[in-house]
Structure 1
Amino acid sequence: MRRPLVRRLTALAAAAIFLPAAAACGSGDSTGESGAKGGTSPLVIYSGRQQALVKPLLAKLEKAVGAKVQVRYGDSAELSAQLLDEGDRTKAALFFSQDAGALGALSKEKRLAKLPQATLDKVAPAYRSANGDWTGVSGRARVIAYHPDKTPEVPGSVRDLVEPEWKGKVGYAPTNASFQAFVTGMRILDGDDATRTWLKGLKANGAKAYAHNIAVLDAVESGEVSVGLVNHYYWYERVAEKGADKVKAKLHFPRGGDPGALVNVAGVGVLKGSGESEQARKAVEFLLSKEAQTYFAEDTKEYPLAAGVTSSVKDLPSLDSLDSPKIDLARLDSLRDTLAMLQDVGMV
């Protein structure tokens, strides 16, 4: 029998907290409380971004804020739930989330402090909180990866993937946070009934589930499936590693505000009541600096969001050119309902 969803989320959140995640940046990686510099309290960051991805950047952040940084890594939704549970007792000063929904959940419960307007103004309103309490720092677009030899006509919309011609030809990662955020976006755009019908149709059409985006891209690359639902940067990272002539898969950026074209953000918020809020605000400023934005653009192949920084990745469409759905990213906070829906249709 499946466990109730709330119990599952609580258990996952607890597991994230007690994993040996940390790895504070800088010399002497540790999560202990004794690592402060010169008696200064450490800046505690809860990070939903993977250690392998952001540790080099957070090492530079440590120097920028002038204090020891301690990082607790985990899933963004789980860490958000943990922060809500901890409330004023939390030692975290900054939440670095993989997606906007987890930040929106904290904002809804008024757990985030207002950011300076000058900081917010560095990022377009579409990619930050309307309440002024979190901001995106990097963006990623949902795309359709396809095998050109097996896809004579690329699907114009993800909604088409439940049609008979795509039976057994679609790959997706239902347990992946980015897929779940996309489903949440579809719920906002199309409504719950239509989204549930689409998910059931996708499953009934023999779509193949994989553990993560990389596995989906691998399946497209090998021809195991014809198309796959992924984030854009996985393909660009592979091209950078192997060369464009060695990568068989291609990308399609859906148009017309399609839910399959969602642009989500990784973002940050300062925890309300934190004794280290000034250091946390400095950390936000650093993540929007040219140095950090260039890191996102060049190292992780994401979209930089701060004004004045553009991506130099070859053949990557500009962020302004994408025809993504116009939704308030804070509304992606209804992840719990999305997980319940995915569980109901048997995808997770």
Structure 2
Amino acid sequence: MRNLTERCCREYSLDQSLFIKMNILGNSPQFRGVLEKICKITKCDAPVFIDGETGTGKELVARAIHYLSARKNCPFVAANCGALPDQLIENELYGHDKGAYTDAQESREGLVAQAEGGTLFLDEIETLSHKGQITLLRFLQDMQYRPLGSKRVKTANLRIISATNEPVEQLVEQGVFRKDLYYRLNIMSVALPPLRERSGDIKLLADHFLQRYQAQYNEPHKQFHPETLDGMQYYDWPGNVRELENLIHREFLLSDTPMIKIEEFCDGNMERRTNSNDRRHKKLFRQSLKDAKAKIISEFEADYLSHVMLQAQGNISEAARIAGKERRTFSRLLDKYTIEKSHFKS
């Protein structure tokens, strides 16, 4: 992780310590691609669309893009679109002047003005109502807006980063989310892999959170039981990094001994956990059998290709031999899933 971070920092003139401070760390090939994408995105000012399951760190990535960009000294304003009342969407975004309506006793800045010069992060963008989508689309066309009750049109200078944990492309096809808005938001994109697909990162993150709580509670002698760390590797983590972090925090506080042993991750208990209903499949149940099956196969292929490339240390010919594929066919599969061989070389 540190070597990759240092390389990115050299190429993009970034402070390497910021990634660690922002709790953005990992050494899996899947995560390395994310880190490199962040480095590239910080050098431009285009809108960014972040896609990832709940708990994968979408807001952390949005903050990293902001604080590692030229806008770092200006505000980062985060808003959850699901909390924006439909009837007040323009007021929330644009604000109002004094006297704009009966209860407007004083002027109030909206989210756009609060983020002036910086970044406006719109989380759960898929929850915007139809009216909210039209309002945002109109703003994105020329970055101009008018606070309620004002006669003066203002021009905003900010970056828009949006995020979702839902299949927005499917919502676009269903007509639930506007296609033109999606295209305007999705200029640059970051797809965050779920924790279960980040081979090796679970232990890295667990140790990172453990060290944080050791320092926070001044209990440096607490450690994980080896069985606990081993068991963590076989759990699917439907809540992703957030679930891991919260679990470690809780177990750290509850442990009466220096050795933290989480029974759910030990021996036979793991069979019960891995055989339980996997919540991550709930989204698939909303899709047709054909689409759900294709998604599962796609995820498996990408994970399998990464695994054999890691085993072959980036050697495509060796990886193709392990997979029982012709080199040319194997290379096409790597291209299909945008898997770079450079990510796997030691």
Q: Say whether the fold is shared (TM-score over 0.5).
A: no
Larger RCO, structure (CA 8 Å, separation 6 or more): 1
Tell me which interval the TM-score lies in, with the shorter structure as reference length. Answer: under 0.3
**TM-score where L is the length of structure 2:** 0.24
TM normalised by structure 1 equals 0.24
Tell which structure's C-alpha radius of gyration is larger.
2
* Larger helix percent: 2
